[in-house]
A = this chain, B = another copy of it.
């Protein structure tokens, strides 16, 4: 079994119905109204991709930019809940209107199409790919300075489809300190390099925590691997985020836009500079 395959070469379902069949394997086209396209990726689950996507969108938006989030995690979408979005999105003919957060960030996510956010979508890859293409082609995104794409874990259908469909200007990689996670994150970095999408840099999430009682710095998931990972893979280290109970609480309450943190703002500023 080869470890490295060109996207789609290994797919046995290459047929007319496949939304990524060779006929559509053209270079992704930019949309006139959208200036910059950034994906947040990890390979590993549960390291904070959606969190960073939400925080970046919030930060960019507070700086006056128009921001949209395309939630490409079709089977495990977290974005609507962290922004407190519950309403179903509107459709106008063959188009969909994205939801808007209190701060005006436009969001499209599978959970905004479900009657009940807890219901599963038990879908195989071709449908997942089709949904992501719809989120890209049929959603009326309007004018945006930044479209952020929240990728699911893994390097399978959703990720492949995003990379084939959306003209990404850059990818932000999220890792956590555990070596086990870093191994999987490296898979994602290799994938991004294979398809020649620039990696803007690395954010290590859950890098450490601080005991609220005695101020001890705690490294529950092991020593930070951020410098070594960035060095090994020749990518820029953008920053390290602590485990912060305030974030978990605000996300659960749907109020991520109320979070502010000076060191994250520096990271966001650097990403804005890199994405220019």
Q: Which of B44, B120, B212 has a CB less than 8 Å from the CB of A45?
A: B44
Interface size class of A (residues with CB under 8 A): 35 or more
Give the complex CA separation of A110 and B187 in angstroms. Answer: 13
- Which of these, B5, B128, B212, B219, contacts A218 with CB under 8 Å? B212
Contacts of A6 in B (CB 8 A): 122
**Majority SS at the chain A contact face:** loop
B180 touches A78 (CB 8 A): yes
Which residue in B118, B243, B244 is a CB contact (below 8 Å) of A187?
B118
Nearest chain B CB to A101 CB, angstrom units: 15
Pair B12/A76 contact, Cβ less than 8 Å: no
The reply to whether A18 and B7 contact each other, CB–CB distance below 8 Å, is no
A6 to B122, CA, bound (A): 7
Which residues of A are in contact with B by a Cβ distance under 8 Å? 1, 3-8, 10-13, 15, 17-18, 20, 43-47, 74-78, 81-82, 110, 113-130, 152-157, 159-160, 176, 178-181, 183-184, 186-188, 190-191, 194, 209, 211-214, 216, 218-222, 243-245, 248-249, 251-252
9 smallest beta-carbon distances between A and B, as pairs = A45-B45, A46-B46, A125-B125, A3-B119, A120-B187, A75-B154, A179-B252, A214-B214, A13-B13
Q: A3-B121, A209-B218 are in contact. List 10 more A-B contacts (CB 8 A).
A: A3-B119, A5-B122, A7-B122, A46-B46, A75-B154, A76-B153, A82-B180, A120-B188, A125-B157, A212-B216
